[in-house]
Homo-oligomer: A and B are copies of this chain.
């Protein structure tokens, strides 16, 4: 009895305060009100979503409403939107008891992030100097979703180890940093990165990994029992995988040039991803004694091709070129899960819950290199006169220092003991931040009556 009380004391002394009843509502309310004010000051409809479009059409000699950019990009936008909310959200539901957190916090973070992204990207890329306003249309929505993708990738590294308030802070800094980094790469270095290999995936990957490194938990094995998947949670995760995989052609083609640009980007991504699946399966099967497949690989590495083709998707990489990129990405990403992830955790003290290093960071770097090679190989005969001017940027190399210091700073802020993050033994457990359904009743139903009788009998025997 005394032992039990001592155990309880130990338990509660180890407990962290995960009460977020003050911080979470305050952050949500204050930030949302700030968004409303800033939108009121800065954001307006662009000329294609404004009622004055009728005059714009007349002025530009456009004969049909179908030439509104909406019709070029809206189907792709909706696919990207599905990737952000269902794709990323469900991909992270693989943990046996963190599916609420995976899909729910993903939802919260993305909803805030896309508003903040519209502002940050607007200020950096499209602030009208005359009016001081940001004019938004469907392409702005796509870019906001892209920016959010970077933050959700970072979430993958710290999944289950942070509170929703920390995630919102991570997103606030992440979107800010993203806009700066994107400005450097696209506007100062004049690189093209329509599908965001570097801008989105490498950035999001290393941002998340750096934060995870700062937040290193040496005693994370105390929640080891919660770190695996169960059969059904793996199938939920496949919903995320497949929607990401299927709609990646839309992701890489959503903001490319009208006409052949979008067309080609979709074809290349489609082919590249098909190739990735085969090599992922091959390596996954090779890694086990009897050739069994590992769901972690199938859920994640099959997507690496889409990441790596982000930069080059719109280029004339040619169909077989796309297949080659996918071929190697499947191999490298799966190998990453087998060899690099354990190394990162043991040696570099980086705990990467979803293995974003293998799915986003590494393939993103490959994507930058592939883009650089393809751009360098581009000649006027391949691209024709009309398009040549567009592919002249270089892949950025430096600028790393400034950008890596920022996540360190963000990570340090997140270490403050005010965010309600879980104790080591409570990681990966929805119990901490969610009202969970009471499933006791069901469990009792599943116990056959005879066993309940047993209990009764044994108690009686004890009494005797």
Contact A68 B259 (CB under 8 A): yes
Q: A235 an interface residue at 8 Å Cβ cutoff?
A: yes
Q: Which residues of chain A (10-38) have a CB below 8 Å from chain B? A: 18-25, 28-29, 31-33, 35-37
* Closest beta carbon of chain B to A462's beta carbon, Å: 7
Which of chain B's residues have a CB closer than 8 A to the CB of A243? 82, 86
Check B439 against A290 for contact (C-beta < 8 Å).
Answer: no
A346 CB-CB contact with B under 8 Å: no
A183 proximity list for chain B (CB < 8 A): none
B49 near A267 with CB under 8 A, answer: yes
Decide: B234 and A294 in contact? CB cutoff 8 A: no
The 8 A CB mask of A165-184 against B (1 = contact, 0 = none) is: 00000000000000000000
User: Roughly how many angstroms separate A93 CA and B442 CA in the complex, as a whole number?
Assistant: 17
Number of copies of this kind of chain in the complex: 3
Minimum CB–CB distance from A433 to chain B (whole Å) comes to: 6
**Interface: A3 (CB within 8 A):** no
Q: Closest CB-CB distance, A299 to chain B, in whole Å?
A: 9
Shortest A202–chain B CB gap in Å is: 25
CB distance from A22 to the nearest CB of B (A): 7
Are B103 and A54 in contact, with the CB atoms below 8 A? no
Describe A's contact surface by its main secondary structure.
helix
Cβ–Cβ < 8 Å partners of A267 in chain B: 45, 49, 136-138, 141
Residues in B with CB closer than 8 Å to A230 are 437, 439, 442
Interface residue total, chain A, C-beta cutoff 8 A: 156
Q: A72 to chain B: which residues have CB within 8 Å? A: 65-66, 71
Verify if A463 is at the interface (C-beta below 8 Å from B).
no
Task: State which of B164, B231, B278, B386 has its C-beta within 8 Å of the C-beta of A54.
Answer: B386
Chain B hits for A78, CB < 8 A: 75, 79, 246-247, 249-250
Interface status of A455 (Cβ within 8 A of chain B): yes
The verdict on A131 contacting chain B, using a C-beta distance below 8 Å, is: no
**Given A85-B245, A89-B238, 13 further pairs, Cβ under 8 A:** A28-B279, A48-B260, A49-B264, A50-B316, A85-B242, A103-B242, A114-B274, A115-B275, A141-B267, A231-B437, A288-B435, A291-B433, A451-B451
What are the nearest 10 A-B pairs in CB distance?
A21-B291, A65-B259, A53-B260, A111-B277, A28-B282, A39-B320, A65-B258, A40-B320, A49-B263, A25-B282
